[in-house]
Amino acid sequence: MQKTDIFLTGVGGQGSLTASRLLGEAALAAGLNVVVGEIHGMAQRGGVVESSVRIGDVHGAMISDGSADVLLGFEPVETARALAKAGPNTLVISNTRPVVPFSVSLKSGRYPPLDELLAAMRAVTKQVVALDAAAMAQQAGSGRAVNSVMLGVLAGTGRLPFPSTLLLEVILKAVPGKQAEANRRAYAAGEELGRRATAGF
């Protein structure tokens, strides 16, 4: 059985831990072996949060440096910081909307320009999908549907070892009923972007 290693990173409150749980639930629903690991860091709102989802022929939760199949970054600086997990064959999907983490504000360091962060990603792998997930979620009808956008992009790239419809089902079960339609639209928009963006890879 093949394996798929997904490393997720973001800032507390963005939903990256929820995203890893949803991916794990979808893999289980597909009858696949899955290990989800959470490296909380400062998991309260504003702290750095990292997690891993390993699907298929895997045992531990650790993803070795350079070996992630997908790096799913909910915040651009945190995506750049997690690049040690990526290699030339890694697909990097990064939200471009900054959320300044405590670590940056405490060190009174400057927040790097977005083009510098994207250049750092593209220096590691040519397979980079960058998007403003917050704007897309808003457009779909709910600023809280960032997760659905990001997971939709991942599904659209065809890198998941289970059907996209299965992941959407899991997401819709997890969100409040009144948020379902906005999340469905957010996921569809993300999926379309993922398909288009990876067509050239």
Q: Tens digits of per-residue pLDDT, 57-105? A: 998 999 999 999 999 999 999 999 999 999 999 999 999 999 875 655 5
The number of C-alpha atoms within 13 Å of 198 and in the hemisphere containing its C-beta is: 21
- Torsion sign across C-alpha atoms 25, 9, 193, 58: negative
What CATH number has the domain bearing residue 49?
3.40.920.10
Rg (alpha carbons) of the chain, rounded to whole number: 16
> Facing residues of 173 across strands?
none
Q: Is 132 exposed, middle or buried (0-12, 13-18, 19+ CB in 10 A)?
A: middle
- DSSP secondary structure code for residue 178 in this structure: G
Range of the domain at 127: 3-198
Residue with the larger pLDDT of the pair 13 and 106: 13
**109, 120, 88, 74 alpha-carbon torsion, rounded to 10°:** 60
Q: What is the pLDDT of residue 107?
A: 59
Backbone φ and ψ of 10, nearest 5°: -175, -165
Q: What is the pLDDT of residues 8-48, one digit of tens each?
A: 999 888 889 999 999 999 999 999 999 999 876 554 556 78
Greatest alpha-carbon pair distance for the chain in Å reads 47
Q: What is the pLDDT of residue 106?
A: 56
pLDDT at 108 over 60: no
Element (H, E) at 18: helix 16-29
Q: Where are the alpha helices (DSSP H) in 53-163?
A: 76-81, 102-106, 114-124, 133-140, 146-156
Q: What is the pLDDT of residue 153?
A: 98
Rounded Cα gap, residues 130 and 16, in angstroms: 16
CB 74 within 8 A of CB 9: yes
Q: What is the pLDDT of residue 104?
A: 57
**Count of the separate structural domains present in the chain:** 1
Region 5-9: mean pLDDT is 97
- DSSP secondary structure code for residue 65 in this structure: T
Q: What is the pLDDT of residues 124-174, one digit of tens each?
A: 999 999 999 999 999 999 999 999 999 999 999 999 999 999 999 999 999
Q: What is the pLDDT of residue 102?
A: 61
Rounded Cα gap, residues 99 and 87, in angstroms: 25
Residue type, 132: D
How many C-beta atoms surround the C-beta of residue 8 within 10 A? 31
Q: What is the pLDDT of residue 166?
A: 98
Burial string for 63-82 (b: 16+ CB within 10 Å, else e) reads beeeebbbbbbbbbbbbbbb
